[in-house]
Amino acid sequence: MSTTAYEQLSTAVATGPLSGYTVLDLTRALAGPHAGMMMGDLGARVIKVETPEAGDDTRSWGPPFVGPEDNPQATYFLSCNRNKESIALDLKSEDGKDTLTRLIERSDVMMENFRTGVLERLGFGVERLHELNPRLVILSITGFGHDGPESHRSGYDQILQGEAGLMSLTGSGPDDPQRVGVPIADLLSGMYGAYGALAALLEREHTGRGQVVRTSLLASIVGVHAFQGTRATVAGQVPRAQGNHHPSIAPYGLFKCRDGKVQISVGSQKLWAAFAEAFGLDAVRPEYVSNAERVENHALLLSEIEEAFAGFDPENLLEKLNAAGIPAGKVRTLDEVYEWEQVKSQGLIVDVEHPVLGRISLPGPPLRFFDPATAAEMTRTVHSAPPLLDADGASIRSWLDAEAKVAS
């Protein structure tokens, strides 16, 4: 029997809290694939089902594309599909449905982000899925939710950033709504989805049955409104964008200095006293005596701080801020981030061997795991590159055949 990419890695990857679990990933674009990648980062075997010929939508999302002209690879696809195998299935064909059925029977989690009703029309509604595998956890991600008056709408990240209020909070001011610089609705719904699937797996240990977990891009954005949400629901305010300064804490934000800008966060009275002493400000001036007054008189405070900062370049200013114990930082470009030794030290860059591109570096997983008895790190350290379309189709089918023989 030919070996899968997962089996080739299994001897090197003996760690990860989801080692031994199989995730069937029927999703495309970003929200679902990000959830699947998170599960793979945790050690699960993730089998990605794609449409024949074209594959996941993100295989064509670019530029940038990299690699040879006759086989270009979209960096978008590379961002959300590491640690997966790929099998191409036509789910309208009998062979595709039969293979999917066998995969469902052998999976712990199935992820899908079809529009509501599509799986039912294909013959794989929830009732049928649990007939095939009562222990199956089903993660379903939609744009606006599975029910309600607008559940039928297609959901794309920027549309939901606007519809769910995030863009009204982001930008230089109330008349300048801006999207977040990454597809945050997709990413958050993927995170919430993975979190929900893990909870359902834990619950399955008690009941022996899988649950249906549902989330949406709409829910993911509303779920992170945080203090802006309670400003609206409790205080009756309508929060609006106000640039790079915090609406409820001052001083907290991006400030000009000589030849650049720095960020500071003065989140307590103790920090305010230290900051004011370091830069010659009157800490007990009536306009600044408490955080509420500083927020109310933010324009005056901003001008005084930037006047005090005018004699410092960013590096010298950061040194002074750090010496005073003030949380501070600069705004890095992404190339600077990936060259930063602190980022490298946290395993946030991983190297993989891609069959077309060779050795490439990818942004790495954000979680690390340690054995409390030995302090040994248990984080997955060997990763596989995002797969080519149907790269593992033959080996996955061989595995299914072998599993069927064992079962019989």
Known catalytic residues?
186
- Distance of CA 289 to CAs 250, 273, 286, 317, 318, Å? 11, 10, 5, 24, 25
- Residue 166's nearest CA partner among 157, 154, 193, 194 is 157
3-class DSSP assignment, residue 39: helix
Instruction: Tell me how crowded residue 278 is: count the other CB atoms within 10 A of its CB.
Output: 15
User: Whole-angstrom Cα distance, residue 79 to residue 27?
Assistant: 15
Q: How far is CA 295 from the centre of its chain?
A: 32
The count of C-alpha atoms lying within 13 angstroms of the C-alpha of 307, restricted to the half-sphere facing its C-beta, is: 8
User: Rounded to whole angstroms, what are the CA distances from 179 to 73, 169, 191?
Assistant: 26, 9, 19
Amino acid at 63: P
Strand partners, 257: 260
DSSP string, 164-231: TTTGGGSSSSTT-----SS-HHHHHHHHHHHHHHHHHHHHHHHHS---EEEEEHHHHHHTT-HHHHHH
Tell me how far apart the alpha carbons of residues 210 and 229 are, in angstroms, rounded to a whole number.
Answer: 33
